[in-house]
Amino acid sequence: MGKPFYLRICGVGGQGSVHLAGTLAAAAVREGISVSVIDRPRSAMRLGPITCDLCLGQEGFAPFIVPGEADAVLGQEPLDGVLNAAYYLKKGGTLVLQSEATPSIGEAVACGMDERRTAWKEKMLRWGCQVVEADASAITGTGRNYYMLGVFLRACPWFPISAAAVEEELAGQAKNLQCLREGMRAAV
């Protein structure tokens, strides 16, 4: 592998973001790619924000992605995804977002959508980033994450972990494997 690849996965507690990061880390090891991964729950309760940083192909241990250095952000929740991308994604990076909006607490109280959802997506486009949105709202459980990962793998073919290695890791998880494959067939 050439230069390191930095992926930030963000979502909310209970979605399976940590499970997804663990699957990717195991797939990286399967392919002989050095990997460090750290998850950071910013809230200990279910539905609280969580991020997982994966540093692939870097010499030594690199648990955190430096702001402005992420090659890609995979947002399981669109507002948190664009907020993370605005801070962590490098110019020209890839942002993959779940398109179904989960209202934040602030939005629920204000009875309106946060304008940053649109403004920061536009900012990413001005930076030359690829912004891909996919609707996985019909999928339940961790299958939703794997659908989004499939979309990500299709949108980011230079990602160093192959789809085949991820599929091998999911061999015993029929639903997640099916959702991954559906995401890889989705239009991006």
Distance CA 159, CA 66 (A): 18
Distance CA 117, CA 79 (A): 6
Written as six digits, the tokens of 34 are 């050095």
Residue located via tokens 């559906």: 182
In which domain, by residue range, is 89 found?
5-103+111-185
The model carries a pTM of 0.88
pLDDT at 182: 95
pLDDT at 8: 96
pLDDT at 105: 57
Given the DSSP bridges, would you call strands 130-134 and 5-12 parallel, antiparallel or unpaired?
A: unpaired
Q: Strands, DSSP E only, in the chain?
A: 5-12, 35-41, 49-56, 70-75, 89-98, 130-134
pLDDT at 104: 60
Determine phi and psi for 147, rounding to 5 degrees. -65, -45
Written as six digits, the tokens of 66 are 């430096």
Is the CB of residue 162 less than 8 Å from the CB of residue 125?
Answer: no
**Residue 174 burial (CB count, 10 A):** 10
CATH number at residue 181: 3.40.920.10
Q: pLDDT tens across 100-153, in order?
A: 766 665 666 666 666 777 777 788 888 888 999 999 888 887 889 999 999 999
Written as six digits, the tokens of 41 are 């729950």
pLDDT at 87 over 70: yes
Amino acid letter for position 45: M
Q: pLDDT tens across 24-79, in order?
A: 999 999 999 999 988 876 655 556 678 899 999 987 766 689 899 999 999 987 77
Q: With bands split at pLDDT 50, 70 and 90, how would you rate the model's confidence at 157? A: very high
- Number of domains making up the chain: 1
